[in-house]
Amino acid sequence: MNFQSAEFIIGAVSQKDLPTDGLPEVAFAGRSNVGKSSLINKLVKRKKLARTSSTPGKTQQLNYYRIDDKFYLVDLPGYGFVQGGIGLRGRLGKITEEYLRDRPQLRAVVQLIDARHGPTELDHMMIDWLQECQKPFLLVFTKADKLSRSQLDRQFAKLETSGEFAGIPFAPFSAPSGHGQKDVLEWVLEAINSPQV
């Protein structure tokens, strides 16, 4: 699917900065440097819409991207390492937590995990929290191109046999090849178009 327009609207640092037009939103969460910006760029077929960086902790605000004037993709600050130290990390955590818990326009969350390492302790905490909040979410395993097909299959088999993620939808994704972007985009559009709960 090709979108006609995709534009950066605001980097929100507090609740009062958030758009008030009522459009539905899908947020992208994950550890610092896991590939949130790269995934957003691939989904909307724009190379530099969301700024990517090899430096962890670069996204230090809620970055809003308006797509076809119909919905927003929201790039959340990465959890884990953040440039600026503990104080900033705590502040970002509060903004993100309030957004995920209280934002009525938020339809769903795309939770990114590095396929090479599998879910970290912070990823597990985030997944538990999303389940508690009863937010629909999709697990996307990024950097899938760094693993062979058999390694990826083993990683997913391990997750399935552990039973931790039973019933949670997931998809692999590779930024260089775009593998998996169609599945992720379909899930996002379905979430956007689903009735609000």
pLDDT in tens, 114-130: 988 888 888 888 888 88
184 pLDDT band (50/70/90 cuts)?
very high
**Dihedral, CA atoms, 121, 81, 179, 43, nearest 10 degrees?**
120
Q: pLDDT tens across 68-117, in order?
A: 999 999 999 887 654 555 554 454 477 888 888 889 999 999 999 998 88
More confident site: 190 or 157: 190
Average pLDDT of the chain is: 84
Lowest mean pLDDT among 19-28, 58-67, 78-87, 151-160: 78-87
pTM: 0.87
Whether 159 has a pLDDT exceeding 60, the answer reads yes
The CATH topology of domain 6-193 is Rossmann fold (3.40.50)
Predicted confidence at residue 57, as pLDDT, reads: 47
**Closest residue by Cα to residue 175 from 184, 166, 163, 188:** 184
